[in-house]
Amino acid sequence: KVHIPVSNEEAQKHLKSLMERLKINGRKPAPVQKLQAKEKEPELAKELGPDPFDNPYEYAEMCRREGMPIPRNILQLIEGANV
């Protein structure tokens, strides 16, 4: 579902209607949050290493360097289907 922003007056009207239906009399609703837009952080592609399916040789080399076992499906990509 896509969020479509509405005006503050319309939101207050809906809130008041909701409070009446829920029979909320004395309680005040939480104050409106002031949200700030943030820059999107860059992708972590470099930290995660090479893509195993785009660069199976580089991925296998990274696994060897870090002492991790190379997944069987990556070995099949490198050495063919006879593994």
Tens-digit pLDDT profile for residues 17-66: 888 887 766 667 678 888 787 777 666 555 667 777 788 888 888 888 88
What does the domain layout of the chain look like in residue ranges? 45-79
Which residue matches tokens 């005040």? Answer: 28
CB 62 within 8 A of CB 40: no
Q: Which residues contact 49 (CB under 8 A, 6 or more apart)?
A: 58, 59, 62
**Whole-structure pTM value:** 0.39
Helix segments in 1-83, DSSP class H? 8-21, 45-48, 56-66, 72-79
Helix (H, G, I), strand (E, B) or coil at 20: helix
